[in-house]
Structure formats: structure tokens, C-alpha cells
Amino acid sequence: MAPRSTLCRRAGGVVAVALAGAMGLAACAPPVRPPAFTPREEVPLAGLPTGQAGWPDAQWWKRYNDPQLNHVVDLAMRGSPNLEQAEARYRAALRAVDSAKAELNPQVRALLSGSHGYSDVTLHGQAPGASGSAQGFELSPGSSWSNSGVAGALATWDLDLWGKQKDAVAAAVGQARAAEAEKASAAASLQYNVVNTYFDWQAQQARLDVARHGVKSSEDYRSLVELRVKHGLDDPTALDQADAQLAQQRGSVAQLEGAAALDGVQLAALAGVAPADLEALKPTPLPTPDVQLPPDARLGLLARRPDIAAARWQIEASSKNIDQARKAYYPDVSLMGLGAFLRTYPDLGSGTRTDLGLGNVGLSVQLPIFSGGRLKAQYETAQAQLDTAVAQYDGAVVQAAGDVAQGIATLQALEARRTQQDAQYDATVAQKTKAGDRRAKGLIDDRDWLRADMQVDEQRDARLQIISQMLSANLSLIHALGGGYVADDLPSLPAATAAKEASR
């Protein structure tokens, strides 16, 4: 038998040859190359006015100082099914990170096995050189019962020499961070929809007050016309016109009441409760729309959008998947240890038994020699996933820029309209005041004053509609700017890093 030192040298030589062969096969791995894209890093938006720094805040809806609104938002944040789904996806992604990290740790598997057997052996044979009936023979030692048991343990530890499993962990972390950003995106959308619906309900209530006052004025006007027609002072068609006007005013009230009821149902749905469980809302004055904008609405601020943050993390996860797929061409090197003990009672009752102990430790090298194109397909699939992630990121950036630009343009246009509407409203109020003075002097009758009053109602309603539209556009811009979401640890885009590695 060869000395132990000689056996160790031979074993080491075998391992060295195996590793050298594995490294030669790993040379077939795809080269590190930069992704076929250049992610957007700047989306200039021209014509931005200067405004407030640090806007919007994380809990931006509290700036309106409306406890009723705060309660509805809190109720929605606690009971939204969409948020629960996003939270569940985030928890699942965290568990995937734990699973990927666990693959880096050694593991030990145990085996316990026991058996009880019965044997009945009969041996038939033929004696060499014998003739006739003496040629065959039969041996039957009889039947026996036996017991046997095995206990063993196998320890393995993947050394992850090339960092393949660490890339898997990094990819799982990227997916988890993307899920976290998607959860924030779901929360931001919920907050925006709740606040927007709430203020739309408040706008309907304000317009309802105006419309109901218009109904009262139309009823008074019709009464006067009816009286004049009855006494032959007006043509009967004047009463028909007054009836049509009254019906139009009552139709406006019905339409606004329906819209307000629909807003209430939608608020209850957003809050995840039945409409009857939503506390009765009280009308409050509409807040003044905020036309002051952040000093910089370029990508630096747009990156606060959770959907862009999620897309960034998807790029990070996809790039790590490419690294993992490339390193699949390299051998897997593991430490293995085996210990086992076997005890057998070949013939119960005979007092005999057999004991066997086993134990070894060493390196295990597994390397891909022929994969039938599987490794190449996995690598190209990972590359395609990265290209998709980058395209989605670029799309999210462009969409964000468009949302912000549209919100700014809408606010500016509505601000210009409000200026003209205010002037028109002031002029109509002045006409009503003059009509009141002339009525007091007996120069006109009540019909002229009521017509002036109804014209003021029309201008009030138009003014409320513009304010409501401006408030909705303001909320939409807050949502487009991320709704107060802040992510301070976004990963850097991989294009520059990949290009640097490719030049090596």
C-alpha cells in the first residue's frame, strides 16, 4: 500500500487537474460586455417656473389642514386591498432574499433507516464430473430473520468561488427593493385617488349650493311671469321659457347630487368599506389651488417617483441575473463530508451482528461539459430581461416627464382662465348691484333683478368649476412628482460599469 503522504499528493493532483480542466471549459463563458442600451439620465423640461423647495412633503395632503380628509386617507391606508396585495408581494420578495442567502451557508442532511427482513435460501447446483442422478444437488440452509439499521450525515458547503450565488442574492435584493418601491407606488396612487375624489365631492357640494339657489331664483322668476301672463301683461310663451329655465336648474341639481353620491361610493371603495360605514362627510370650502412648483422638476426630482425607483431596481436585479447566468459556465466547488454507521443482525437470535463505520471529507467539483445549449439560452434570456427592464425604465422616465409637463401646462392654462373668469364674475356682480339699486328706485321690476342674480349664479358655478379643475390638476402634479416618495439609495445605472468591465 502506498504511504499516506503519497495518497494525499495523488488526491491533490487529481483536484488540481480537475480545476485546470474546469477553468479551460469556463473560457467558453460569454465575455463581459456592456448592455445594448444607454439608460436615460436626464429629461429636460423647459419653461418651469421657480417655486417651493422640497415640495411635495411625504404626507402632502395634511397641508390642507382638513381633519376630515386626514381621517379618510388614514382609513383608506388601513383597509385598501391593493395595498395588502402590494405588501404581500413585498414580503414574498423578502423571503426570496432569505432563501438566496441561505444557499451560501453550509448544510447538513441526516439519514436514518431501519429494516426488518426475512430470507429463505435454497441453492440448486450441479457437481462437476458426476454422471447420472449424482450430477445435481440442492442445499437449503433454511429461513432466517434479520434486522439492519443505518445512521448517517452528509455535510455540504458550496464555496461560491466565482460569486454566482452572491449574484443571485443581489438579484433577489433588487427584486425586493423593486417590490418595496411598487408598494410605495400603490400607496401614492391610493392617496392621490382618495384626495382627488374627496375634493371633487367638496366641489359638487359647493356647486350644489349655487344650483339650489338658482332653483329658488328660477321659481321666483316663474311666479312673476305666471302672474303677468295671468293678467295679460306678457305673452304665454314667456311662461314656457320660465318653465324650461326652471327645469334646467332642477336638472343641474339632480346631476350634481348624482355626481356627489358617486364620489361618496368611490371614496368608500377606496377606503375598503361599505358606503354605509363611511362617516357622513361635511361640506367645507375648497382650498386655494397651489400654483407654486418645485425649483427643479427634472430627473433629479422625477427619480423620487416610486415607479422609476422600481424600474431602477429591476435593472439592478436583471444585471445581476446576467452575471449569475455567465458564471454558470464555471465549475461549482463544494466541501463535502460524510459520516455513516451500519449495524446488521443477519440472523436474529444467533447473537451475531455486523458493524460498519464510514467517514470521509473532501472537495467536490461539478462542471458543465455539455449542456445542450441550456447555458447559452439562460444567458441570452437574462440579457433579454435586462433589455426589457431598461426599456421599461426609459418608458417610466419619459412618462414621468410627460405627466409633469402636462400638469404644469394644465395649471398654467387654468390660471389664465381663472384670471379672466374672476374679471367676468366681478363684472356680473357689479351688474347685479346696479340692478338692485335700480329696483330699489322703481326703475325696473323684480324680473330684471332675478335675471341678474341668476347670471351671478352662472358665473359662480363657472368659477367653482375652474377652481375644482385647478385643484385636480394640482393634485395630479403632486402625484406626477412622486407624492412625497423619497429613495436615497437608488442603485447606479449599470451601463458605465458594464462598459468598464468590457474593456478589461
* pLDDT given at position 53: 43
Peptide bond into 56 cis (omega under 30): yes
* pLDDT given at position 7: 40
pLDDT-derived band at 16, boundaries 50, 70, 90: low
Identify the bridge partners of residue 111 per DSSP, sorted by sequence position.
152
pLDDT-derived band at 496, boundaries 50, 70, 90: very low
SS (H, E, C) 413-466: HHHHHHHHHHHHHHHHHHHHHHHHHHHHCCCCCHHHHHHHHHHHHHHHHHHHHH
Q: How far apart are CA 293 and CA 392, in angstroms?
A: 27
pLDDT in tens, 243-267: 999 999 999 999 999 999 999 999 9
* pLDDT at 405 exceeding the cut of 90: no
Query: Greater confidence, 71 or 133?
Result: 71
pLDDT-derived band at 5, boundaries 50, 70, 90: very low
- Let me know if 440 is exposed, middle or buried by CB neighbors in 10 A (0-12, 13-18, 19+): exposed
Q: How far apart are CA 339 and CA 49, in angstroms?
A: 75
**Cα–Cα nearest to 166, from 370, 394, 324:** 324
- CA 255 to chain CA centroid, nearest Å: 37
* pLDDT given at position 264: 92
Are the C-beta atoms of residues 471 and 287 closer than 8 Å to each other?
yes
Provide mean pLDDT across the span 447-469.
Answer: 93
* pLDDT at 59 exceeding the cut of 60: yes
* pLDDT given at position 57: 75
pLDDT-derived band at 274, boundaries 50, 70, 90: confident
pLDDT in tens, 218-244: 999 999 999 988 888 888 898 899 999
- Please tell me what DSSP assigns to residue 254: H
Q: How far lies 425's CA from each of 121, 248, 277, 479, in Å?
A: 113, 21, 40, 31
* pLDDT given at position 395: 87
User: How many degrees, rounded to 5, is the angle at CA 467 between CA 292 and CA 253?
Assistant: 165
Q: What is the DSSP string of 102-114?
A: HTTS-EEEEEEEE
Provide mean pLDDT across the span 428-453.
Answer: 88
Give the percent of the chain with pLDDT over 90.
Answer: 28
pLDDT in tens, 283-341: 999 998 876 665 555 556 666 788 888 988 899 899 898 988 888 888 888 888 888 88
Domains and CATH numbers, the chain: 42-115+145-481 (1.20.1600.10)
φ/ψ region of 305 (left if φ > 0, alpha if ψ in -120 to 50, else beta) reads beta
Least confident piece of the model among 73-87, 330-344, 429-443, 476-490: 476-490
* pLDDT given at position 278: 78
* pLDDT given at position 80: 83
Half-sphere exposure of 170 (CA within 13 A, CB side): 16
* pLDDT given at position 149: 84
* pLDDT given at position 10: 47
Q: How far apart are CA 163 and CA 100, in angstroms?
A: 12
* pLDDT at 198 exceeding the cut of 50: yes
**Cα–Cα nearest to 297, from 51, 130, 61:** 51
